[in-house]
């Protein structure tokens, strides 16, 4: 894909990003940060794409670490967000016990 097309996609994605988070109640700042955090775990895909063509022990080792890191980012990110948002799921038996 040529660079200019990629830049066009980049700029459009930036505007979408700005729009999506226009006005958020403070209460949702942390869950939203956590959700976007999970989404940049997309780098996992980058590591997976690079490991096939890469040669040599060191390169493979670095990429296995990168894949593990990316997986932690994705899996952990979405799970933690889900847990944080649990407080909006409805009334819990005792939210205070959870907080302390």
Query: Contacts with other proteins in 25-64 (CB under 8 A)?
Result: 25-56, 58-60, 62-64
Binding mask 61-80 for other proteins (x = CB under 8 A): -xxxxxxxxxxxxxxxxxxx
CA torsion through residues 45, 51, 53, 58, sign: positive
CB-based contacts of 76: which residues, under 8 Å, 6+ apart?
A: 38
Question: Are the C-beta atoms of 59 and 50 separated by less than 8 Å?
Answer: no
Tell me how far, at minimum, the Cβ of 76 lies from other proteins, in Å: 4
Tell me how far, at minimum, the Cβ of 56 lies from other proteins, in Å: 8
Distances (CA, A) of 25 to 15, 18, 32, 84: 20, 15, 10, 15
Tell me how far, at minimum, the Cβ of 92 lies from other proteins, in Å: 9
Tell me how far, at minimum, the Cβ of 53 lies from other proteins, in Å: 6
Q: Does 22 bind other proteins (CB under 8 A)?
A: yes
Size of the site for other proteins (CB under 8 A): 85
With CA atoms as reference, report the closest residue to 31 among 72, 74, 80, 71. Answer: 80
């Amino acid at each position: 894909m040529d660079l200019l097309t990629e830049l066009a996609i980049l700029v459009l994605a930036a505007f979408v990003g700005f729009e999506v988070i226009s006005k958020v109640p403070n209460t949702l700042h942390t869950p939203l940060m956590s959700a976007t955090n999970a989404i940049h775990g997309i780098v996992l895909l980058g590591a997976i794409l690079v490991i096939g063509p890469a040669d040599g022990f060191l390169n493979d080792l670095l990429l296995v670490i990168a894949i593990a890191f990316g997986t932690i980012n994705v899996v952990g990110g979405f799970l933690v967000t889900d847990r944080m948002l649990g407080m909006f799921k409805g009334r819990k038996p005792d939210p205070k016990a959870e907080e302390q």
